[in-house]
Amino acid sequence: MPADVKTQPAKAESLQGVVFEIHNDAERVEAIDKAFDYRGDVTLTLTNGPLECFIFNRDAAEKPPRVEVFVKGQDAPLVIPYSDIQAIAFTGRDTADGKSWAAWVSKKDTERAAEAERIRLELEAQGHL
């Protein structure tokens, strides 16, 4: 059974605003995997309080399983055992939200067309076309 979702995401494709309350190890792994794939900050509710951070690595095979995070205002990453994580809130803006492959291709096509037109006009001005 998936972790309880306390709020709904702002958009169907984004987890921004979602909170996963964790009740067992399977839910913990699922929530951590989603947080690892998220491209924004999360707030972890740990056994000793909340922590706003960015998850940049996870290792479920390590004994004990752990995540590595960057915490705002700290230079060194922090290692947190999976078992310390009680909930995960997707509190930061998903920096890749709305940046689909199709949007990237469309942007690049527009840029290429503009560059081709610029070159054509330059060559015409020089009398080459």
Please compute the mean of the pLDDT values over residues 18-47 and round it to a whole number: 93
Amino acid at 72: K
pLDDT at residue number 103:
74
Contact 18, 9 (CB under 8 A): yes
Enter the tokens of residue 54.
């960015």
**Residues composing the chain:** 129
Could you report the per-residue pLDDT of 39-49, keeping only the tens digit for each?
889 999 999 99
* pTM of the full structure: 0.65
Could you report the per-residue pLDDT of 100-117, keeping only the tens digit for each?
667 778 888 999 999 999
Q: What is the CATH number of domain 4-89?
A: 2.30.30
Q: Is 105 left (phi over 0), alpha (psi -120 to 50) or beta?
A: alpha
Amino acid at 128: H
Give the largest CA-CA distance in the chain: 73
How is the chain split among helix, strand and coil, in percent rounded to 5? Answer: 30, 30, 40
Enter the tokens of residue 31.
């929530």
